[in-house]
């Protein structure tokens, strides 16, 4: 029997088969969850619908998380289909390409507001809308990145948004704790996703990560999916307000030296 047998899990932010959300979806399916998938915008529909079919997901809904009425409608549809929800996954982030290629101080006001609205406030709005249909012991989780606490070149406003997302995770965990609902974040190492493609110098960063992390290897969407299963399952019932690093140990290293440099001492 799977770790998520009988649990209803909604995943927001699936874009394509490279998405971290897809790794989570597949892992949830393997562990027996009843799945619901939400995506942003018509353009993604043709990519998402076939993926939903692959995991036998019957509930696939478009939801623009910048619109409260759409979020409310999505929650309504979920209530009709599932009744109650046990797991809510927020895998949503956006910043304009311009904001990720020029210096951070050149971030536009509109670009800043946009990144915060879509990447951070959407978690708050979804939590608020779905709270009435969340079961006790439900698990909410979001996706973050190390650029929230240390500078990752070109990550810019996205790093600032992820810092706000991690802070929101803690405040939501505090609010929902009495109802036995937990809220956590997964901080994944760099993965070649659609979102990552917009970050300047990502290829170099990706290679650097594999050279410098203690485990000397990159992270996969499957790795993140397995960690998400843990946070979604009853195995993590007393864990809330945390950021779980799935990054081959990269975040633990202060002074970074390549293997070649170490050998030449």
63-78 pLDDT tens trace: 999 999 999 999 999 9
Range of the domain at 190: 8-263
Indicate whether 2 belongs to any domain.
no
List, in order, residues 6 or more apart from 84 with CB less than 8 Å away.
8, 133, 134, 135
Average pLDDT over residues 199-220: 81
Pick the residue with more confidence: 43 or 77? 77
Clarify whether 145 is annotated catalytic. yes
**pLDDT digit string, tens, across residues 232-264:** 999 999 999 999 999 999 999 988 776 666 666
CATH number (domain holding residue 119)? 3.40.50.720
Rg (CA), the chain: 18
By C-alpha distance, which of 176, 184, 188, 165 is closest to 233? 184
Q: Which of 39, 104, 105, 155 is catalytic?
A: 155
Pick the residue with more confidence: 16 or 265? 16
CA distance 40 to 48: 10
Q: Is pLDDT above 90 for 13?
A: yes
Clarify whether 206 is annotated catalytic. no
pLDDT at 195: 66
CA distance 193 to 208: 17
**pLDDT digit string, tens, across residues 95-154:** 998 898 899 999 999 999 999 999 999 999 999 999 999 999 999 999 999 999 999 888
pLDDT at 256: 77
CA distance 200 to 61: 32
Least confident residue range of 64-73, 86-95, 207-216: 207-216
Q: Which of 39, 145, 146, 245 is catalytic?
A: 145
pTM of the predicted structure, to 2 decimals: 0.94
Q: Would you state the structure tokens that stand for residue 51, as one six-digit string?
A: 């993926």
Give the mean pLDDT of the chain: 93
pLDDT tier for residue 184 given thresholds of 50, 70 and 90: very high
Average pLDDT over residues 22-39: 98
Indicate whether 3 belongs to any domain.
no
CA distance 65 to 152: 26
Cβ proximity of 168 and 209 under 8 Å: no
pLDDT at 55: 97
pLDDT at 43: 86
Indicate whether 38 belongs to any domain.
yes
Cβ proximity of 40 and 238 under 8 Å: no
Indicate whether 1 belongs to any domain.
no
Cβ proximity of 87 and 8 under 8 Å: yes
Q: Would you state the structure tokens that stand for residue 158, as one six-digit string?
A: 């996205």
pLDDT at 89: 98
Phi, psi of 10 (to 5 degrees): -105, 135
Sign of CA dihedral 7, 8, 9, 14: positive
**Domain tally for the chain?**
1
pLDDT at 259: 60
Q: Is pLDDT above 70 for 84?
A: yes
Q: Would you state the structure tokens that stand for residue 250, as one six-digit string?
A: 């990269």
pLDDT tier for residue 176 given thresholds of 50, 70 and 90: very high
By C-alpha distance, which of 25, 26, 28, 23 is closest to 38? 25
pLDDT tier for residue 227 given thresholds of 50, 70 and 90: very high
């Amino acid at each position: 029997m799977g770790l998520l047998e009988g649990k209803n899990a909604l995943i927001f932010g699936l874009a394509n088969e490279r998405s971290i959300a897809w790794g989570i979806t597949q892992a949830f399916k393997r562990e027996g969850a009843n799945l619901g998938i939400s995506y942003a915008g018509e353009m993604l529909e043709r990519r998402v619908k076939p993926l939903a079919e692959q995991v036998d997901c019957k509930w696939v809904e478009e939801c623009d998380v910048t619109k409260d009425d759409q979020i409310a409608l999505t929650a309504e549809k979920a209530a009709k289909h599932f009744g109650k929800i046990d797991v809510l996954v927020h895998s949503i982030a956006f910043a304009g390409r311009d904001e990720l290629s020029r210096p951070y101080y050149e971030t536009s006001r509109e670009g800043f507001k946009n990144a915060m609205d879509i990447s951070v406030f959407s978690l708050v709005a979804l939590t608020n809308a779905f709270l009435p249909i969340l079961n006790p012991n439900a698990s909410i989780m979001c996706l973050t990145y190390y650029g929230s606490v240390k500078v990752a070149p070109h990550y810019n406003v996205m790093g600032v948004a992820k810092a706000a997302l991690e802070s929101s995770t803690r405040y939501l965990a505090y609010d929902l704790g009495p109802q036995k609902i937990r809220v956590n974040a997964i901080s994944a190492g760099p993965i070649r996703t659609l979102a990552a493609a917009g970050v300047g110098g990502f290829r170099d960063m990706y290679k650097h990560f594999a050279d410098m992390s203690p485990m000397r290897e990159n992270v996969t969407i499957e790795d993140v999916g397995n960690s998400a299963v843990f946070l979604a399952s009853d195995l993590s019932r007393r864990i809330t307000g945390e950021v779980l690093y799935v990054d081959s140990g990269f975040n633990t290293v202060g002074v970074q030296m390549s293997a070649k440099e170490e050998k030449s001492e």
